[in-house]
Amino acid sequence: MIQKRKQMRTCESGQVMAFLALTFVVLLGFAALAIDGGMLLSDRRHAQNAADASSLAGGSGAAYYMRSNNINYNGFLCGTPKTDLIASAAEHAAIIQAGLNDYTIDGDISDHHGVAVRCEITDLGSYEDKHLDVITNITRDTNTSFAHLVYDGPLRNQVEAVARVYPPAPLAFGKAIIALNDAACSGNKYGVIFSGSSNTTVTGGGVWSNGCLTGNGTSFSVTVNNGGVGYAGSSTGTLTNISPAPEHIPSQLPDYSTAVNEPTCAGLPNRTVPNHGDATLQPGIYNKIKWTGGALTLDPGLYCITGSQGVAISGGSLSGNGVTLFLQTGGVTINGNVTPVDLRAPVESPDPAPAVPGILMYLAHGNTSTISVTGNSTSFYLGTVYAPDGDLYFSGSSGTNPTFNTQLIGNNVEVSGGATIDINFNDEENYEKPPYMDLLK
């Protein structure tokens, strides 16, 4: 019995060493996974951050070049010398930024380590989507502590970032009358509405509704020069009075194309309007601007209206060069008894801040009031009238010929009256959106 036990111990000798060797291999694998895997993930994050920064820098370089050389949406055409120079500026900026993060890249991404700039224009019916994509690829190999003992190949990360940059563009891509409401037609109150007996001529931009287009009645006529008439939703009423014939294009305008940052009223002084006589107002914060007679002059700057009565001008005369009326609450009413009217938005240079270049009237987001303007032969308006959640009513006193050198953007927009109405849009005189950039990947 004793001899048998000695034989068993002899047969089992050395098993612990084999077990320890196996365990050591397993532990080494875990160590390699923990240490080298952590280094691999860390290097990937670093490479991705560098690629993101490189693409964004390229997009910024393209945007800066377009702004500096006055290249906007209308002049942005792929394959032209202008866009080639924009692409070169983007590529140069992306390469420099990658170098600041210790990556040397070039203009060739076939090896997954470089930058490429692609120009694309896609016709979406309601607008042309024009943009540059700045694509950065970075490849990084991770130096290993243990993995090379069991794996001969490199531990490699390949990452990609894509920044898309859009050229400066007029709001709504240069359309003159735009309704943002996408609701279906109902009771002649949604979308773009033409009514009354006015003869309206729109020059320099088209007419667009994200929802309904309505011809209310048969006495009006609309002629659009250098632009079309379109709607993304439904239509109702008489449209045969509109030339060119309206088109149904089921493609709404993107939100970014009609977005305008609100001006800031902080720091402006509180002011009031005199009760009578001629008056000259200074920029500032007003509870209301109400005027019934005499000559009212607005000095250049931003006018912030905080009360529910808004702006109501019913008599006398009105003038202001370089002004933005920003209504946090309340709306705007200017009737046909005001004569003459000469209101002009600020120009971009010199910087009119906190007034907004090209914006004449602005209903704050969430303000569902209305802007109602009745023009006459002595009326002159210049600049964008913007009410993203409010309604616009523009008309002319019977037998007159008011001039609106404006862009009308509202939740709903109605043009009516018995006048001959000229709406002339020039994108250089209205608000222009700066270049817009988005990191897609």
Cα separation, 70 vs 85, in Å, equals 13
**154 and 176 co-located in one domain:** no
The answer, yes or no, to whether the previous bond of 340 is cis (omega within 30 of 0) is yes
**294 and 383 co-located in one domain:** yes
Domain contains 258: yes
For residue 428, pLDDT over 60 is answered with yes
For residue 356, pLDDT over 90 is answered with yes
The range of the structural domain enclosing residue 300 comes to 172-439
Contact present, 98 and 50 (Cβ < 8 Å): yes
> Could you tell me the pLDDT band of residue 17, with boundaries at 50, 70 and 90?
low
pTM of the predicted structure, to 2 decimals: 0.82
Dihedral of CA 429/189/370/387: which sign? negative
Cα separation, 13 vs 429, in Å, equals 95
**54 and 157 co-located in one domain:** yes
Contact present, 150 and 40 (Cβ < 8 Å): no
**124 and 228 co-located in one domain:** no
**297 and 314 co-located in one domain:** yes
Token pair for residue 39?
């280094």
DSSP for 132-170?
EEEEEEEEEEEPPSSGGGT--S-EEEEEEEEEEEEPPEE
State residue 18's pLDDT score: 59
**DSSP conformational letter for 173:** G
Domain contains 326: yes
- Total structural domains within the chain: 2
Cα separation, 71 vs 348, in Å, equals 15
Domain contains 3: no
Count of residues for the chain?
441
Cα separation, 192 vs 393, in Å, equals 10
Per-residue pLDDT tens digits for 212-262: 999 998 889 999 998 899 999 999 999 999 999 999 999 999 998 999 999
**178 and 138 co-located in one domain:** no
Domain boundary among 167, 193, 214: 167
Domain contains 2: no
Token pair for residue 258?
């009609």
**183 and 316 co-located in one domain:** yes
Domain contains 22: no
**159 and 186 co-located in one domain:** no
Domain contains 198: yes
Domain contains 66: yes
Per-residue pLDDT tens digits for 43-54: 889 999 999 999
Domain boundary among 167, 202, 222: 167
Q: What is the amino acid identity at position 23?
A: T
Element (H, E) at 11: helix 2-12
**103 and 251 co-located in one domain:** no
* Residue 57: strand, helix, or coil: helix
For residue 399, pLDDT over 80 is answered with no
Domain boundary among 167, 200, 233: 167
Cα separation, 37 vs 147, in Å, equals 9
User: Given its phi and psi angles, is residue 241 left (phi above 0), alpha (psi -120 to 50 degrees) or beta?
Assistant: alpha
Element (H, E) at 30: helix 15-31
**147 and 180 co-located in one domain:** no
State residue 276's pLDDT score: 78
Cα separation, 362 vs 328, in Å, equals 9
CA 132, 134, 138 angle in degrees (round to 5)?
Answer: 165
Domain contains 256: yes
Rounded (10°) angle between helices 37-68 and 81-100? 140
Q: Which residues contact 22 (CB under 8 A, 6 or more apart)?
A: none
**337 and 423 co-located in one domain:** yes
> Could you tell me the pLDDT band of residue 139, with boundaries at 50, 70 and 90?
very high
**44 and 176 co-located in one domain:** no
Beta bridge partners of 156: 141
Chain-centre distance for alpha carbon 137: 27
